[in-house]
Structure 1
């Protein structure tokens, strides 16, 4: 594929708001995980015992009144993330160059604003016909749909091109890059605002806990003692534009690979078939060999099965010299936002030469190859990759490069 310039990128996570907050925490090896204080309470009247990557300040960050129809935690985080790193200013420059109808919105999410739906069901009131109904303040259909995020971003930015919400579980906001690339290549649009947002709620915490995937301690990706993930929330965005249309920042999307092995609803393929297919296709589209990649941000959830299978797929494709790591010890697993957040981390590695290691992990797993690095490194690299794998075998790998 032809390289697709990236004009800007931003992320807001438990590490803070904007790129500099992410960079500072990564370099300082400061985790954003904290003991969970997020409801609803469990049967004992206490929050679920686990660690979460919670974004500070959302409770006090109501949407502007003109967008009250979209009010919910997830859209609050979307608005907060959009305001960082002068992204909206650069988006306006894109609008001036191409027009609002020639810029697509492609965003990913896993649960969208389901937290508002939970609140509505907890607060059911008698309706006009006597049957249960949502309370008046939550009788807003747009927040009870997965497209709530895309619809809100479209309203908040004023863009009038195609507006797409991708919901493929934890690969959602990685797949947005591939979708945007196809839209631009087809000539449907000249540029795209891509990103993803997911927030903590009961369905997330108790859903993953019911699958016995949540650790009671901060997650330890690829550690021999790992016993589950830590959940987080995050939002992030990037601006893509067709080559030659404007002045880029020297970074670009050079390849993507997608697969759907459909092995199991919640377990990865035991031989990592889908993961390897996605990585191989991304390398092929980028026109590079595996040896060219300097850094790989792994999906690395810290569940026993995911990490060993991903590590085996990586070892079967990449040389021992690869620096590969999971950054979920910093942010937690941010679900549908993981793709955009960890793509930002890969872009930072390209831009600044700081290659993160893995937090909380110290005991190597013999099942994982030498590509898995616990310690940070510094190196000027040309190519970086990001893996994002979702339930049902929805996988996506991305190749970014300095141009």
Structure 2
């Protein structure tokens, strides 16, 4: 594929607001997970909650979109001057030539939960002020971002479980390569809600403490919330001076459809996605310096991903950053893409927070202490329920590509 510039990006999660706070947490191997205190959730687990979302309503002229998910989206877009960077791109390309591609799994479903608590006792009717289209509808996130910037280009939401925030890179790339747009605002946002917390609890997948990806004593996931955004553009004269720019080099997508909630035990779909990402980047597995693992910290997911990884790579340094952020579901792919970009920008491999004894049966070079190291290209994995998989390869501007 033709490489695309990942010109600007930002991330907000329980690990921190913005790039500086996120980088500091990763460098220190610090986790933002804490005992679950989400209203209405009487569960003995840890979550990755972003403080202050409740006190940050969306812009007054966009009040119809007000919900926890869009609040977190707005809070994140104002970090790292990301909103200003997008407006610069609009000035260069025009509002009708900038697309919006957002990943989410549940969007503003919390608004529906709250609406059901206020439904009419006699008729069961939902309250008149409940606005499904602008809040709970998965497209509401893309519509909100589009309205926030006053954009008129194509817009779409991707809801493919935990690969959503990665698959938006593929959606944007296809639009850019066909010439329908000149730039794309991509991102992923998911927020805490009772449906998600109790849903994963019913599957017996929640860890009682902070999750420990790839640890010999791993015992489940910690649900988090996050918003991460990036700007994708073609390379060209406008970026001639960006010698250290981050580039999207390769994308791999697969759907193994093995099971509704369990991965293929040998990680076949995961391997296909990684192989495709490497091929589209024109890179050999030996040229990848770090892999950001999907790493949910469940026994079966970590084992399947390990089998897929070791079938392609020979002792590549790797870690899961979900110990720091929690599993942010539909936002995870975008959040971890930003983390991958940070590793390239700062030439460092982040430690896997909370993991103290990597499972020797998995055969991984799992990083326990953040290390400085030269990195030319990195790979980020995102795998979702139903076998929907996506792998992304990022590199510095000087990296080779097909």
TM range (shorter): over 0.9
Is 1:76 matched up with 2:83? no
* Contact 1:312–1:367 (Cα < 8 Å) also in 2: no
Match of 1:160 among 152, 159, 162: 152
Query: Would you say 1:267 and 2:259 are equivalent positions?
Result: no
- 1:245 offset after TM fit, Å? 5.4
| C-alpha displacement of 1:370 | 3.1
* Cα RMSD after superposing both structures: 1.2
Question: What is the rounded CA distance, in whole Å, between the counterparts of 1:298 and 1:349 in structure 2?
Answer: 13
Deviation at 1:382, TM superposition (A): 0.5
**Distance in 2 between residues matched to 1:75 and 1:212, nearest whole Å:** 29
Counting only pairs closer than 5 Å after superposition, residues 28-67 of structure 1 correspond to structure 2 as: 28-41=28-41, 47-67=42-62
Residue 139 of structure 1 and its aligned partner are, at CA, apart by 4.2
1:111-168 Cα offsets, whole Å, 9 max, x none, are 0000101111111026xxx632222332453223111111111111111110010000
Contact 1:63/1:76 (<8 A) preserved? yes
State whether structure 2 residue 3 is matched by structure 1 residue 3.
yes
- 1:215 pairs with 2:210: no
Spell out the pairing of 1:1-400 with structure 2 (5 A cutoff).
1-41=1-41, 47-125=42-120, 131-244=123-236, 246-247=238-239, 248=242, 250-320=245-315, 322-400=316-394
Single out whichever of 262-271 and 144-153 deviates more from structure 2: 144-153
Structure 1 residues without counterparts, runs of 5 or longer: 42-46
Kept after mapping to 2: 8 A contact 1:107/1:149:
yes
What is the rounded CA distance, in whole Å, between the counterparts of 1:85 and 1:180 in structure 2? 22
Counterpart Cα distance in 1 of 2:388 and 2:133: 28
Query: 337-346 vs 239-248, which deviates more?
Result: 239-248
For residues 50-92 of structure 1, the C-alpha deviation after alignment (integer angstroms, 9 at most, x for no partner) is 0000001001111122111011000000101111111111111
Whole-angstrom distance in 2 between the partners of 1:229 and 1:367: 20
Structure 2: 5+ residue stretches without partners: 398-402
1:178 Cα deviation (Å)? Answer: 1.0
TM-score (norm 2): 0.96
Q: Distance in 1 between matches of 2:200 and 2:222?
A: 10
Counterpart in the other structure of 2:400 = none
Alignment deviations for residues 85-112 of structure 1 (CA, whole Å, 9 cap, x no partner): 1111111111111101001100000000
Deviations 1:323-359 (A, max 9, x none): 1100001000000000011111111110001201211
Q: Deviations over 1:288-339 (max 9, x none)?
A: 000000111000000000001101111110112x111000010000000000
Moved >3 Å (runs of 4+): none
Equivalent-residue separation in structure 2 for 1:275 and 1:395 (angstroms): 6
Count of residue pairs brought into register by the alignment: 394
Specify the SS of the correspondent of 2:383.
Answer: strand
What is the alpha-carbon distance in structure 2 between the residues aligned to residue 28 and residue 225 of structure 1? Answer: 22
Cα displacement (A) at 1:49: 0.9
For 1:44, the equivalent position in structure 2 comes to: none
Task: Indicate the SS of the match to 2:147.
Answer: helix
